[in-house]
Structure formats: structure tokens, C-alpha cells
Amino acid sequence: MEQLGEEFSALLLLFFWLYIPVLLVYICLCDCVRRTAKRLNRNGIGWLFLSLFCTPILTAIMVHCLGKVEEDKEPKVNDFELTDAEKAHILNRRENEE
């Protein structure tokens, strides 16, 4: 009976020594997807959670296939056209905030 307890302990220890590195690699891959999404102007946290629930490999392929989101340099308010003076005012205010 004592030998069975030792075997179980050895198997449990082996399981944790194999499980922890695999879990760390999985988390690192998910973080790589997050950083890639952020570099492509996408929501990094959203892609991180998606890669945690799906596989990081699949989400990495998805984020690369979607490509980079271009940021709109022209300020818009609810799709209405702004006058040049209003655009200049908004851009100056943004520059002052930075």
C-alpha cells in the first residue's frame, strides 16, 4: 500500500513538472498575439482573451490575416464634415494634451 502512495506522488510530481512549462508557453504565445494585435492597431486585450479561449496559433493567424487598421488622421464628429478651422482647433487641442 505504501508503494502505491509513492507511485502516485511520483506521477503527481511528474504531471506538475510537465504541466507548468506547457502552461507558461501557452501564456507566452497568448501574450505574443496581444503584442502583435497592438502593433497592428487592434484591441490587444480582446485578442488576448480570444487566444486564451481559442488556440494562440489560430488567433495569431486571424490577426495577421486581418492586417493593420489604419488610424484616421482627420477628426470627425458623427460623420459630419468639419470646417478647416474646427479641424485645426481639434488638432491643436490634441497636440497640447500630448
Specify whether the CB–CB gap between 57 and 29 falls below 8 A.
Answer: yes
C-alpha cell at 89: 482647433
Residue 86 phi/psi, 5-degree rounding, is -65, -40
Does residue 62 carry a pLDDT above 80?
yes
Q: What is the pLDDT of residues 6-22, one digit of tens each?
A: 777 888 888 888 888 99
Provide the residue ranges of all domains of the chain, joining segments of one domain with +.
2-70
**Position with higher pLDDT, 80 vs 21:** 21
Nearest residue to 41 via CA among 73, 75, 77: 73
Q: Against a cut of 0.75, is the pTM above it? A: no
Q: What percent of the chain has pLDDT over 70?
A: 85
